Structure 1
Amino acid sequence: MWWAEFNHDGPGFVPFGPAHLLVFAVVILSCACLLIWRRPLRRSQAFQKTFCWTAAAFLLLAEVWLHTWYVLEGVWNIRFALPLKLSSFAWMAVVAMLLIKRPSFWTAFAFYAGMTSAFLTLIFPDVDDYGFPHLRFLHFFMTHGLLIIAVFYKLIIERAPVTFRSLFAVWLVMNVLAAFVFLVNSLTGGNYMYLMEKPPSPTPFDLLGEWPYYLIALQPLAVGLFILMYLFYYYAVKRWQ
């Protein structure tokens, strides 16, 4: 990965080590608190306004923070620094979801595409050897963890609905975005959304074959994961709304 080229003499990343497990604990505990205190939090306009604006501002400032580090380190490059990763589209959708109170497509995109990718990415993080407390570690896990918490907040506290039909709209939009990103990759030599090659670290991509076969296999896999997410919403989340 691109950041593997730069010197790093700090602690290395340990999969499912103490720092990695702490991320899971914080996300689970945060979601549990939202669930336990959902009734008083639903009545608190002050909490809802504060949460939405704080979470949206954090995601925006985290992106500024990361790009500032790129520039200060002299490593900013169009091959990897554009906001064209799936996680980039996801956090943009989450910001829109938080700031738009009425039900919108952004909620569906954040739930199906964002939450699904965040779950998988937290389990199989692509941070090379950057461990806690390096900026790369903090940025990666804080933004992905907040994405899950923010979507859970939207579903539980604001009781935003998610429909089965919307998963196909999200899948279609993802393919449109992928086509655009593929063009950008071809022009810049980048690998946004891993459309040109698989991640270097162990991920489920490794089970799907080589390029371009894993891209084809991702199509039904994405739909299948979205269906599982909807079942999770219908049978586990909806009862608490």
Structure 2
Amino acid sequence: MEWLIQYNKRYIFEMFSTSHILVLLLFLIGSVTIFIFRNKLKKVKWRPIEIGIALSLLFFEVAFHIWLLASGYWDASDSIPIELCSISLILTIVLLLTGRKLIYELLLFSALLGATQALITPVLYYDFPHFRFLYFFYTHVMMIWVALYFTWVKGFRPTIWSVGKVFIFLNVLLPIVILVNTLVDGNYMFLSHKPKTASLLDFLGPHPWYILSMEAILLSLSLFVWLLLREKGDKRAVVRKSN
């Protein structure tokens, strides 16, 4: 395993390095492209590509856990896929395969609020072209692009009830994650304690009160996303797509 350790040490990621900025530029260009060409994209049959992307995301997730095991890094305290972005990845795969409106609603908010923040301030140690770098940015970019694609190209739109659904969904997950944290001595979703590095949580009060602050921020940002992407001209913002 010595060769693997030495290989990993060759790639040290730095925030806002050249590789990071290039990925952010690619993400922005892709997002703008989806919006500008949304009407033309509606005329294309995307089903095979949707399935292909879903399978590629599944492949990356499985490969990531194989890499963790092979590297000796897999640990129940931080490797179980119950972080918000891990859940968003699962939602992305399910949405691409099923096209269910409820899955779209959950993904839209978790991706735009969670994955976007992760792209800007990634918790990452390996730079390009390390597999960990490719896995992190490919999955996070795709979460957001898929949510935007279903919004602008497929015609899905959030309603005010979508905000309630995602709020309930995350609060149902909350005790489950807390239980897992207790069992494996983990800190999934930062519910056990604040991260050791500087973060927004430093301004939200001590544990466990910052969890309530996080809930308030989640609700406020979710309402902002709804206002931004809701069906224009419909006061009730009723989504045309049915379950």
User: Which TM-score band applies after superposition, normalised by the shorter structure?
Assistant: 0.7 to 0.9
Q: Does the aligned pair in 2 maintain the 1:80–1:192 contact within 8 Å?
A: yes
Please state how far the C-alpha of 1:40 moved relative to its aligned partner.
2.6
Tell me whether 1:147 sits opposite 2:139 in the alignment: no
Q: Does the aligned pair in 2 maintain the 1:98–1:154 contact within 8 Å?
A: no
Please state how far the C-alpha of 1:97 moved relative to its aligned partner.
1.5
Q: Which runs of 4+ in 1 moved over 3 A?
A: none
Q: Structure 2 length normalisation: TM-score?
A: 0.87
Where do 5+ consecutive residues of structure 2 fail to align? Answer: 235-239
CA distance in 2, matches of 1:164, 1:196: 31
1:126 is aligned to 123
1:108 is aligned to 105
Please state how far the C-alpha of 1:51 moved relative to its aligned partner.
2.7
SS at match of 2:54: helix
Q: Which runs of structure 2 are paired with 1:13-92 in the superposition (5 Å)? A: 13-45=13-45, 48-92=46-90
Instruction: Work out the percentage of aligned pairs sharing the same amino acid.
Output: 28
Q: Structure 1 length normalisation: TM-score?
A: 0.87
Where do 5+ consecutive residues of structure 1 fail to align? Answer: 1-5
CA distance in 1, matches of 2:130, 2:194: 24
1:196 is aligned to 192
Structural RMSD (CA): 2.1
Please state how far the C-alpha of 1:235 moved relative to its aligned partner.
8.3
Please state how far the C-alpha of 1:144 moved relative to its aligned partner.
0.7
Q: Does the aligned pair in 2 maintain the 1:85–1:192 contact within 8 Å?
A: yes
Please give the per-residue CA displacement for 1:159-207, whole angstroms capped at 9, x wherever unaligned: 1121111111111110110110110110111111111122333332222
Paired residue total = 229
